[in-house]
Structure 1
Amino acid sequence: MFDIGFTELMLIALVGLIVIGPERMPKVARTVGHLLGRLQRYVGDVKADIKREMQLDELKKLQSDVAAQAHDMESRVNEQMKETETSLTQSILPSGDVTIPAPAENAPSESPTRTPPTA
């Protein structure tokens, strides 16, 4: 975290001993240790949050890429279906005239006729 060597640490401890005094030095050292521990945990939490945000951004980008590809695929499929529909329509009805044959007179009707029961 900090690029401090052993000699720099000893110099800081010596200056602290002179300025603070030998009576309060252990309490100050403990307080500084606790503060450094909190600082390290805070930095670790920030790093983890940044890493999660980066992963979330990557997932959002991946989701948008997949959605774009799905939309492209859907448009291509719809285009192919329209082309197939027009080609089938042209092959079935080459002249474009649609004539519906009239039903024959002696053909059975769609609803059956009931005969009353004879007794």
Structure 2
Amino acid sequence: MFNIAFPELIVILLVSLVVIGPDKLPKVAQTLGVMVGRIQRFMTAVKDDIDQEMRSDDLLRLQEELKQQKEGLNDELRKGMQPVAEVIRRSETPASETARENPSATTTKVAEHKKSVTQQKESLSE
């Protein structure tokens, strides 16, 4: 912070000894030391507050970036799933048309399925 060399410090001490006097110099030095300690603690607290704010700003920025990446991935996933959804719709369409044209065929298929499930259960229980 300050660039005070040893010779400069000696000059400051000699001047303060002459100006203040030898009887008040220890009390002034003690008061000066207490004030310097308070200033250092205050500066440390300010530095810690600034560091904490910088970290919170970084975290908020990171959170926004992650949210944007998530939205981008969701959009890409939707685009990638569109062909699969179209295939599923195409495969469901003939079955639903068959059911509309001939409802008894669907009922027959359901009955056949139930019968095969019942037979499988009976074979497992034996």
Both proteins in one fold, TM over 0.5: yes
Q: Secondary structure at the match of 2:103?
A: coil
Report the AA paired with residue 66 of structure 2. Answer: V
- 5 Å-filtered alignment, 1:37-116, equals 37-93=37-93, 98=97, 100-104=100-104
Which blocks of at least 5 consecutive residues in structure 1 are unaligned? 109-119
The reply to whether residue 11 of structure 1 matches residue 11 of structure 2 is yes
RMSD: 2.5
- What TM-score do the two structures reach when normalised by structure 2? 0.68
Distance 1:45 1:103 in 2: 80
Matched residue pairs, number? 104
Deviations 1:47-83 (A, max 9, x none): 2222222222221121111111111111122222333
Inter-partner Cα distance in structure 1 for 2:65 and 2:6: 52
Gaps of 5+ in 2: 109-126
Task: Tell whether 2:33 aligns with 1:33.
Answer: yes
The separation in 2 between residues aligned to 1:2 and 1:40, in whole angstroms, is 14
Deviates more, 1:25-34 or 1:45-54: 45-54
Deviation at 1:26, TM superposition (A): 0.9
Q: Tell me which protein shows more helix as a share of its residues.
A: 2
Q: Distance in 1 between matches of 2:46 and 2:83?
A: 55
TM-score for the superposition, normalised by structure 1: 0.71
Q: Distance in 2 between matches of 1:36 and 1:83?
A: 72
